[in-house]
């Protein structure tokens, strides 16, 4: 059965015609508002950041505020608004935000990006970020020149100094590398430690790692090759490299699956070009010393796949 359309014509007289006109107008207004709200929701981009210093809530905001402002300024020209930064204390919280659709993209190291994937974050790495002048890097293991550690085989029963649990090059990469080679690693403060285990501690900063090793608070350390080159020469001359890991991409910009292609394309365009703009370079420098963004190559994707495979069977104590 079909019903007549609510067309206003001269058959409706007096108050009935007025009531119908108001009803139809209200319906059209509600539909219009709904459409505008839907378009607005679709045209909002939400960038997520894991705070490198969980005990300093404003640290990530100070780092990425300029980047967020630059993105907002340029995305607005194509009808996209930047939401306030979504800053989380740790990876589990960020994974939850991603699954809830509260974050559209994240900037992180390789291993933490892969961990977000593993936690159901449904991420798609899209861009590579040059950080601290590096496109890629590898971790180096070092010890005192006059110390007892001359090779990885000497590490069992000794203390290895890492930077921090969230570091890729100064914790996750060297730890996985050693586990793949059959070594056992346990926190130094664990109650029961096997005699052949490598005990590890955290120094909090790369320069601290070097000094801890030099002055005997640890027997060896591990961080990336750029950190090695940045050590003061008098300090570096008293240390030696004993091994290194395979190369890793420096940093990644990844989108959550489900982000609209239009938003993704617009964000990528801004990021890929901002190093050519003085204001863009300033924002990148403030954001963890990023030099520029570029697209991931096929070789980059292959390396990611290799680390993803290496990470899968590893269980952290």
pLDDT digits (tens, 9 = 90+) for 205-263: 999 999 999 999 999 999 999 999 999 999 999 999 999 998 889 899 999 999 999 99
Whole-number CA gyration radius for the chain: 27
- Model pLDDT, residue 94: 94
Contact in structure between 254 and 95 (CB atoms under 8 Å): no
| Alpha carbons 162 and 169: distance in angstroms, whole number | 9
Whether residue 20 is predicted with pLDDT greater than 90 in this model: the reply is no
In-domain check, residue 316: no
Of the three residues 197, 223, 245, the one that is the final residue of a domain is: 245
| Alpha carbons 61 and 243: distance in angstroms, whole number | 37
- Tokens read off for 132: 């601290």
Is 122 found in the same domain as 173? no
| Alpha carbons 210 and 233: distance in angstroms, whole number | 12
Domain that includes residue 38, residue range: 1-42
Contact in structure between 178 and 217 (CB atoms under 8 Å): no
Whether residue 89 is predicted with pLDDT greater than 60 in this model: the reply is yes
Is 259 found in the same domain as 279? yes
In-domain check, residue 317: no
Is 147 found in the same domain as 241? yes
- Tokens read off for 278: 């003085």
Is 241 found in the same domain as 184? yes
Is 255 found in the same domain as 238? no
Is 131 found in the same domain as 51? yes
Is 127 found in the same domain as 48? yes
Query: Measured between alpha carbons, how far is residue 139 from residues 101, 174, 249, 273, 303 in Å?
Result: 34, 6, 11, 30, 15
Counting the structural domains of the chain, the total is 3
Is 238 found in the same domain as 146? yes
Q: Is the pTM of this model over 0.75?
A: no
Is 104 found in the same domain as 156? no
Helix 173-180 and helix 298-311: axis angle, to 10°? 60
Residues in the chain: 317
| Alpha carbons 93 and 172: distance in angstroms, whole number | 19
In-domain check, residue 95: yes
- Tokens read off for 163: 């930077």
Grade residue 118 by pLDDT with cuts at 50, 70 and 90.
Answer: confident
Contact in structure between 106 and 94 (CB atoms under 8 Å): yes
């Amino acid at each position: 059965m079909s019903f007549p359309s609510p067309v206003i014509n001269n058959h409706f007289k007096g108050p009935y015609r007025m009531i119908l006109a108001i009803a139809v107008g209200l319906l059209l207004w509600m539909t219009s508002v709904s459409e505008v709200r839907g378009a607005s929701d679709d045209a909002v981009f939400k960038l997520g950041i894991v705070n490198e210093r969980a005990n300093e809530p404003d640290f990530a905001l100070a780092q990425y505020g300029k980047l967020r402002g630059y993105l907002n300024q340029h995305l607005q020209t194509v009808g996209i608004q930047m939401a306030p930064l979504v800053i989380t204390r740790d990876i589990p919280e960020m994974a939850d935000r991603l699954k809830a659709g509260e974050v559209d993209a994240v900037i992180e190291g390789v291993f933490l990006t892969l961990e977000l994937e593993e936690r159901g974050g449904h991420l798609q790495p899209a861009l590579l970020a040059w950080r601290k002048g590096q496109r890629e890097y590898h971790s180096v293991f070092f010890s005192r020149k006059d110390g007892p550690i001359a090779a990885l085989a000497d590490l069992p029963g000794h203390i290895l100094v890492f930077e921090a649990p969230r570091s890729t090059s100064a914790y996750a990469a060297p730890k996985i590398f050693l586990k793949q080679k059959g070594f056992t690693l346990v926190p130094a403060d664990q109650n029961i430690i096997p005699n052949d285990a490598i005990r590890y501690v955290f120094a909090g900063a790369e320069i601290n790692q070097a000094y801890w090793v030099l002055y005997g608070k640890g027997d060896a350390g591990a961080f990336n090759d750029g950190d090695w080159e940045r050590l003061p020469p008098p300090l570096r001359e008293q240390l030696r490299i004993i091994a290194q890991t395979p190369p890793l991409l420096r940093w990644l910009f990844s989108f959550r699956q489900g982000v609209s292609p239009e938003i993704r394309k617009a964000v990528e365009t801004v990021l890929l070009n901002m190093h050519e703009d003085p204001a863009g370079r300033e924002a990148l420098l403030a954001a963890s010393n990023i030099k520029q963004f570029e697209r991931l190559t096929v070789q980059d994707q292959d390396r990611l796949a290799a680390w993803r495979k290496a990470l899968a069977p590893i269980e952290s104590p």
